[in-house]
Structure 1
Amino acid sequence: MDARSLKKPKLEEPDGDVLDDKEGEALQLLIKHRSAEVHDLKKKVAFYQSELESAEKRLVSAELKLARLRSSSAKASNEMRAGGQTLGNDSNSCRASRPQLVIPALGHSANGALLFRGPSKSGPHLTVEYSRGESSTGLKVSSDPQEMKKKQKKGGGITEQKEHKDLIPSVRTCSSSCIIGFQSGNYISSQHKRKLRSLVLCPTNDQIFATSALDAVVNLWQLQDKGSGALRLGTTDCATPRQRRWPEDLTWHPDGNMLFCVYSADDGDSQVSILDLNVTGKKRVTFLAEKPHAKGIINSIIFIPTVDSCFATGGSDHAVILWQEKDGAWKPKTLHLNQHSSAVMGVAGLLQKNILLSVGSDKRIVGFDLLAGRSEFKHQIECKCMSVLPNPCDFNLFMVQTGAPRVQLRLFDIRLRGTEIHSFGWKQDSSESQSALINQAWSPDGWYLSSGSMDPAIHLFDIRYNGKEPSQTVHAHQKRVFKAIWHQSIPLLTSISSDLSIGFHKVR
C-alpha cells in the first residue's frame, strides 16, 4: 500500500463553498481538535481562578496575622513599661482597663418627673471612665487606650469591663448561617402623628428607649412584661423655635440622662437641642446658641467613646463638627471641612481608638485621628455611603451602609484600611431606591446585623456566613421598617415602621 494513502488529512479549514468527502472529514477533525482545545483552556482558567481566590484569602489571612502580631507586641511592650512605672504600687490600682458600662437605677421625683440616677444599691451599674490627655486639636482624649486606668466608683454596684473579641478571623468562614428563632411580634402604637424618624436605646438602661418622628415630638418609653410591650413615660415637643423643624437624628448622652437632637442649618434656625430628662416644663428642652454648620440637613450626631464630654455632628455642608462641654456650655470646633466633597451622612467614634469615622455621599470613608488632628486614612468605594457603625465587640471591625442594591452593607477592618472583608445585602420588592433612613444595628455579641427595609421586613445578617443574602428575614409591620435594635439585657428586637407602630420581637 502506498504510504501516502495513510497520511492523515491536514487540520486546515478548506477553501471554497463546496466540500468533498475528504474536506468534510478534515473539517470534522478540526472541530474536534479545537473543541478539545477550548475544553482544556476552560479547565485551566477555572484552575487558575480557584488558585487566585485561594491566594487572595491567604494574603488577607497573613495580613490579619501580622496586624494581630503587631498589636500583641505593642500591648506587651506597653504592659512592660506600665509595670516598670508602677512597681511597688497596689496591683488593683495600676491595672489598665477598658471603658465600662453601668446600669443606673430609674426612679421618679416627688412631683412625678422622671429621674435618672447614678449607681445605687438596687442593682448592677456601669460607668464610663477614661484617663485623659491633650491632643493637638485641643480635645482631652485618651493618650493610650492600653493605659486607661480603672477608677474607683462611688457607691455600690457591679462593674463590668467591655472586652475586645477577635471576630474578624471568623468572618465569611461558614457555608450556612445560624438561624435565630423569634416569637410572633407584638405591636403598639408609637403615639406619633407623623412618620417615625429615629429609635435609640438608653446607654445605661436598655429597657428605656426613645423615638422621634416628623411631628417633632420625642417620646420616652420603658419596656413592660419582659419585652411584650412598652409604657410611654413622657412626650416632649422638640421642634425648633423659628421654623418648627423636627429632629433629623438624636443620640443619648453617655450618662443616660439627656437626649441630644440635630436639625437643619438653613434659615438661621437652631442646630442642636438638649432634652434634659431630669427637668420638667418648658425648660426641659434647650437650644444651643452656636450654629457652626453652614447649610443643609445635619444628618448624624454621636457621642465619641474616647473623648470626655464630646459629640460629633456631620452635615450636608461637608463638615464634621466636634462639640465639647466647657464650663457648663457646649462649644463647637470644626474638625474638617474638606475631607469630603459632598454631604457627610454618618459619623462614629471607635472604641479604644482615637479615630473618628465619617462617610459621605461622595463615596468616601474617612478616618480622622483625634490625637494628631489629621486624617489617618481615606478610602474611596464605588457607591455613596449612608451610615457607619462600629462593631460592639471587635474594636477593629466596622460596617458601612451603601447605596448599592443587594450589596448595601460592607465590612471593613480598621487595620487594613481600604480592604473590604465582606459585603452583603438584600433585594427590595417594593423599590430599588436606597434610603438613608433605613438603619442597621449590631447584636450584643457582634455576630449579627439587623437592618430595616423599604419592604415590611427586618433582614438579619450573620457575618460568619459566606453568602451575600440575608441569613434570615423577619416579616414585620405593614409598611417599610426604618430600624430594628437589639437589647443588651433581654433577648429582644424592637423595631419602628412608617405604619406608625413599634414592634417587639422576642427571641425564643
Structure 2
Amino acid sequence: MAEDESSRAEQEEALVALIEHRTKEVQHLRQRICYYQSQLAEAEGRLQDSQSKLANLRGRRISFSSDDASLATKRAKLEQRVIGAEHIHGDSENQQSRTKLLIPSVSPAISQPMNSGGLVAKTNIPLEKTAASVKVKVEESNLSSMDIEVVEIKDRGTKRKSEQKELVTLVESRSSPTLIGPYSSNIIPSQHKRKLRGLSVCPVNDQLFVTSALDGLVNLWKIQGRGSSASLLSSTLCVSPGARRWPEDIAWHPHRNSLFSVYAVDAGDSQISVLNLNKKGRPHVTYLEEKPHVKGIINSIAFMPWEDTCFGTGGSDHAVVLWSERDENVWNPKTLHRNLHSSAVMGVAGLQQKKIVLSAGADKRIIGFDVNTGRADFKHQMESKCMSVLPNPCDYNLFMVQTGVHEKQIRLYDVRSMFTELHSFGWKQESSESHSALINQAWSPDGLYISSGSADPVIHIFDIRYNACTQSQSIRAHQKRVFKAVWHNSLPLLISISSDLQIGLHKE
C-alpha cells in the first residue's frame, strides 16, 4: 500500500512538472503569435500607405499630356524606383537578414547577394554618431611624458540602448549561413610584455578600447582610419597594491570614461580597482576599500543593464556580489549568494528586462537570481562546466553559455524556457590543448552573430540562424591562440587579442 502511494506521489510530481513546462511553452508560443500579429499589422499599414502614394502619383501623371514621351519615360523610371524601394523595405523588415556590423538602433541592412567567392558583397555602412561628446587631447611627445585629458561636455555620456527584437524565432532557421566580410587584417604590437588577458571597447567613446595583460598594464588605444589602425595613448600599471597581481577581468563604466578591474583576493588584497581617464594628466588608479570576496580569484565582472548603476562579480569562493554605486568611486557591495554554486563562479551577467543576475559556474550550473525577491528565480544543471554567460544585445530573452564540451562550446537558451536548449554549436580544436576558460565570446551589435577566440590561431564566427553545429566562417590572422575578438559598436570592425602579443584589427 505504501509503495502504491509512493508511486502515485512520484507520478503526480512528474505530471505537475510536465504541466508547468508545457504551460511555459504555451505562453511562449502565444507571445510569438502576438509579436507577429503586431508586425503584420504594421507591415500592412506601410504597404497601404505606399500603394496610396503610388496611386496619387499615377493620377497626377495622367493629367499631363499623354503624348509627352519624355514624361512617360520619367514616370516609368519613377514607378520602378518606388516598387523597388517597397520591395527592399519589405525584405529588410520581414526577413531580418542583416549581414553587416551595425548598431542595433540602426535599421537593418539589406541582405547582400553571394559573390562567386561565397562571401557577401560589400556595402557602405553608416557610422552612428557616438552617444557621448568626449574629446581626447594628446600632446605630441613620447609615451612616457604623454598627458591625456578627457573632457566631458554632456552628461557624462550615455550607454547605447539597443532596440528589443525577437531573435529567438530565427535561431536555427536556415540551412546555410549568411557570411560577412571579406576581412582585411592589420596586426599591430600590443606593447605588452606578457600574455594578454582582457579586451574591451569603450561604451561612451567609439574611438577608444583597452587591453590588459599579465604584466599588469592596461593600455588605452585610439582607433585610427575607421579601424585600419590604432595608436597607443597611455599605458598604466594596474596591479593590486598588495600581492601585485594583474587584472583578471575588466569592464568599462557604462556612463563614464573609467575602467574597473578585478583581482585575486588572497592575503586580504584589494579586490577592485578603478582606472579614471577623466582626470587631467595621466590616468589615475584608485582601489575600493570593500572586500566581500573571501578567497581565490574574482573571475568575472560585468555592469548590469539597469537604470541604477551597479556591477556584479563572481569568484572562486562560489560567491556572486552586486556592487551598487553610491557616489563616484564609492560602491556598496551586497553578496547575493554564496551557497547556490558548489564551485567557482566563472561568469556573471544581468538581464535587461528584469533584475535577474545570471551566473555560470564550474559546477555545471546556470543560476538566475532575482535581486528584488532575494532568491533564485531558476536553476539549470548542465552536463559540463560553464565558463561564461552572455546575454544577447537585442533579444533580452536570449543568452549564450560557454561550456567545456568540444565542438559544442556555445549553447543558446531562452530565459522563458530555461530547460530547453535552443541550439548548440562549436568548433573542432586542432591543437591538443584543453579548452580554456580564457577563450571568450562576444555578440555582434545586431545580435545575429557570435565571435569566439580559440586555442588555435583562429577567430570563429557563428550565425545563430544557421542550423548546423559548426562555425559559419573563420579568420586566420594570429600566430598563437586567440583569447577574444570583440565587435566594434559602429564600425565594420573586429578587434582581437592573442597570446602572440599582437592585436588584430579585422576590417570589412
Q: Report the TM-score when normalising by structure 2.
A: 0.73
> Structure 1's 116 and 67: CA in aligned 2 closer, same or farther, altered over 3 A?
farther
SS of corresponding position for 1:177 = coil
Alignment counterpart, residue 29 of structure 2, candidates 49, 56, 65: 65
Alignment counterpart, residue 113 of structure 1, candidates 143, 148, 151: 148
Q: Structure 1 residue 372: deviation in Å?
A: 1.4
Distance 1:70 1:115 in 2: 47
Query: One-letter code of the match for 2:148?
Result: A
Distance 1:200 1:116 in 2: 21
Q: Structure 1 residue 204: deviation in Å?
A: 1.2
Equivalent position of 1:104 in the other structure: 133
Q: Structure 1 residue 114: deviation in Å?
A: 2.8
> Structure 1's 181 and 385: CA in aligned 2 closer, same or farther, altered over 3 A?
same
Contact kept? 1:202, 1:256, Cα under 8 Å: no
Contact kept? 1:116, 1:256, Cα under 8 Å: no
SS of corresponding position for 1:191 = coil
Equivalent position of 2:495 in the other structure: 494
Q: Where do 1:28-47 residues align within 5 Å?
A: none
Distance 2:151 2:434 in 1: 41
Distance 1:327 1:255 in 2: 13
How far does the alpha carbon of each residue in 1:406-453 deviate from its partner, in whole angstroms, 9 at most, with x for none? Answer: 100000001112211000001111125111110001111111000000
202-211 vs 246-255, which deviates more? 202-211
Q: Structure 1 residue 485: deviation in Å?
A: 0.7
Equivalent position of 1:458 in the other structure: 459
Count, aligned residues: 391
Equivalent position of 1:336 in the other structure: 337
- Unaligned 5+ residue runs, structure 2? 1-21, 38-103, 107-129, 140-145
Q: Which runs of 4+ in 1 moved over 3 A?
A: 58-64, 67-73, 98-101, 109-112, 280-283
Q: Where do 1:342-353 residues align within 5 Å?
A: 342-353=343-354
Equivalent position of 2:209 in the other structure: 209
Contact kept? 2:148, 2:281, Cα under 8 Å: no
Distance 1:184 1:71 in 2: 39
Distance 1:323 1:72 in 2: 39
Q: Structure 1 residue 279: deviation in Å?
A: 2.5
431-440 vs 492-501, which deviates more? 431-440
How far does the alpha carbon of each residue in 1:238-292 deviate from its partner, in whole angstroms, 9 at most, with x for none? Answer: 0111111000000000113100000011111111100000235688101111111
- Do structure 1's residue 290 and structure 2's residue 325 form an aligned pair? no
Equivalent position of 2:254 in the other structure: 254
Distance 1:203 1:283 in 2: 18
Distance 2:267 2:157 in 1: 41
> Structure 1's 214 and 308: CA in aligned 2 closer, same or farther, altered over 3 A?
same
Q: Where do 1:94-493 residues align within 5 Å?
A: 102-108=131-137, 112-119=147-154, 127=158, 162-279=162-279, 284-328=284-328, 329-431=330-432, 433-493=434-494
> Structure 1's 173 and 99: CA in aligned 2 closer, same or farther, altered over 3 A?
closer
Q: Structure 1 residue 394: deviation in Å?
A: 0.6
How far does the alpha carbon of each residue in 1:71-96 deviate from its partner, in whole angstroms, 9 at most, with x for none? Answer: 999xxxxxxxxxxxxxxxxxxxxxxx
445-454 vs 301-310, which deviates more? 301-310
Distance 2:36 2:331 in 1: 38
Distance 2:327 2:480 in 1: 46
Question: What is the root-mean-square deviation of aligned Cα atoms in Å?
Answer: 2.6
Equivalent position of 1:20 in the other structure: none
Query: One-letter code of the match for 1:446?
Result: G
Distance 2:283 2:430 in 1: 46
SS of corresponding position for 1:346 = strand
Q: Structure 1 residue 327: deviation in Å?
A: 4.5
Distance 2:507 2:426 in 1: 24
Distance 1:107 1:374 in 2: 44
Q: Structure 1 residue 108: deviation in Å?
A: 2.8
Q: Structure 1 residue 326: deviation in Å?
A: 1.9
Distance 1:488 1:282 in 2: 26
Q: Report the TM-score when normalising by structure 1.
A: 0.73
Distance 1:445 1:327 in 2: 33
Contact kept? 2:149, 2:281, Cα under 8 Å: no
Contact kept? 2:148, 2:282, Cα under 8 Å: no
Q: Structure 1 residue 330: deviation in Å?
A: 1.3
Distance 1:59 1:506 in 2: 46
232-241 vs 349-358, which deviates more? 349-358
Instruction: Select the structure with the greater relative contact order (CA < 8 A; seq sep ≥ 6).
Output: 2
Contact kept? 2:24, 2:416, Cα under 8 Å: no
SS of corresponding position for 1:169 = helix
Equivalent position of 1:505 in the other structure: 506
Contact kept? 1:67, 1:415, Cα under 8 Å: no
Query: One-letter code of the match for 1:245?
Result: R
Max Rg structure = 1
Distance 1:350 1:267 in 2: 33
Distance 1:327 1:464 in 2: 43
Distance 1:461 1:488 in 2: 18
Query: One-letter code of the match for 1:64?
Result: H
Query: One-letter code of the match for 2:469?
Result: K
Distance 2:421 2:133 in 1: 38
> Structure 1's 323 and 195: CA in aligned 2 closer, same or farther, altered over 3 A?
same
Query: One-letter code of the match for 2:412?
Result: L
Distance 1:262 1:312 in 2: 11
- Unaligned 5+ residue runs, structure 1? 1-57, 74-97, 129-159
Distance 1:316 1:99 in 2: 37
How far does the alpha carbon of each residue in 1:470-494 deviate from its partner, in whole angstroms, 9 at most, with x for none? Answer: 1111112000000111112110111
> Structure 1's 59 and 451: CA in aligned 2 closer, same or farther, altered over 3 A?
farther
SS of corresponding position for 2:184 = coil
Query: One-letter code of the match for 2:315?
Result: G
